[in-house]
Homo-oligomer: A and B are copies of this chain.
Amino acid sequence: MSQSLNREEPNYFGAGPALLPTSVLQQAALDLITYEGDSIGIGEISHRSKPAIKVIDDTKANLTKLLNIPDTHEVFFMQGGGTTGFSSIAYNLVANYAKRTGKKGKVAYAITGSWSKKAHEEAERLGFDADIVVNTKSEKFGTVPEYSEWKSIDKDTAYLYVCDNETVHGVEFKDTPPDSYLNGVELVADMSSNILSKKIDVSKYGLIMAGAQKNIGLAGLTIYIIKKSLIEQPTDDEWKKLNIALSPIAFSYPIVIKNNSAYNTIPIFTCHILKLVTDLLLKEGGIEQIQQTNEEKAKLLYGALLKYPDFYELPVTNSKVRSNMNVVFRLPTEDLEAKFVKEGSERNLQGLKGHRSVGGIRASIYNAVTSKSVKLLVEFVNEFAEANK
């Protein structure tokens, strides 16, 4: 069998699972059949074989290099995406807090869009004492207030949870809450839709969780970066005394870490894709380069939309927190929105429909979406406004 693995470079703006670099998919396609001269493919080998362990270790090393992860932190992988993270974070960090302090501890959430809202709901559902320090639902998640306006965090709090980029509502944090606000409480961030899109200071976070399926890989694998002091869990006897919900064993961070992310069968093909994506990012100049390109792309697109303020409406009214990854906007009517999606599609600009819960238009301009694609979209944004305003 010899068929072309070529494709026209797509202009795809879907929010996730999302576009991956063509060169990565081509290499992965070949590796699916035979891997590194072996007679079988990367998806068929044991997760405890040397080549599989090397894939895991190389991916961790690439992430460490790209994000400049300090020795104080540990990288590991789990199956599932954000939804699994919502549960596993609460289970593990509350138990770790109890281990360290002897107290059950509360948890705190900043609700700035539908994903942080779901994370909070899951913590509550599992029976944790979950505070809300800010909730912008009444403002339709169109802004994030200054930290000085956030409710102060109770001192016996295991962590403050933020969603660094809200994929549905297009809200992104451009900094972290100041130490004076956190007051020693650990910061936890869901970066599922913007990990590796920009430079971050990992040392500021107790834990970072990021599903791979948006900016950097296939669905089915999630990156965790945890401060080592937050790993340890209570002993069995301590658990019983503390009366804290116990996670399923596959969610236990110490067990996953001790087994180099392969306590259960890690989807090694999916990890390999992540390895190839991070190889490419390193080759292309690392995080600084990616961040610069992403900022330029976002500036270009927001700029075009802002040129027609009577035609394009930006639901994220606070320009400081507009996402560089998910650009959401509305048109004057739903009919025009449908027309925009249809005509875009006819020009091969795909995946522009907004999330079903909010409607409108969403252009996700992740790492793999090229500047060329964004320029084509910008042309269309201009022409559509001129033709329909």
* Interface residue ranges, A against B (CB under 8 Å): 1-8, 10-12, 14-20, 22, 25-26, 28-30, 32-34, 39-41, 43-48, 79-84, 86-88, 91, 122, 125-127, 211, 213, 218-221, 245-251, 263-270, 273, 348, 350-351, 356
Contact = CB atoms under 8 A, between A and B. Distances in A.
Nearest to A217: B43
Contact of A265 (B46, B81, B127, B351): B81
Contact of A266 (B2, B34, B219): B219
Nearest to A46: B14
A84 B247 CA distance: 11
- How many copies of this chain are found per oligomer? 2
B17 A248 contact: no
B32 A265 contact: no
A6 to B, nearest CB: 6
A216 to B, nearest CB: 12
Contact of A122 (B22, B48, B248): B248
Given A47-B219, A218-B269, A246-B126, A26 B33 contact: yes
A44 B348 contact: no
Given A4-B1, A40-B19, A219-B266, A248 B88 contact: yes
Secondary structure call for the A interface: loop
Top-8 shortest CB links A-B? A220-B267, A87-B248, A29-B29, A83-B264, A10-B39, A219-B265, A219-B267, A220-B220
Nearest to A353: B46
A245 B251 CA distance: 15
A87 to B, nearest CB: 3
A359 to B, nearest CB: 15
Contact of A28 (B3, B32, B218, B350): B32
Contacts of A263: 83
B268 A17 contact: yes
A377 to B, nearest CB: 15
Contacts of A213: 265
Contacts of A10: 39-40
A3 B30 CA distance: 8
28 contacts: A2-B4, A2-B6, A3-B5, A5-B29, A14-B45, A14-B46, A17-B47, A17-B265, A18-B44, A19-B44, A28-B32, A29-B30, A32-B32, A83-B250, A83-B263, A84-B264, A87-B248, A87-B249, A91-B248, A122-B248, A122-B249, A218-B267, A219-B266, A219-B268, A220-B220, A248-B248, A267-B270, A270-B270
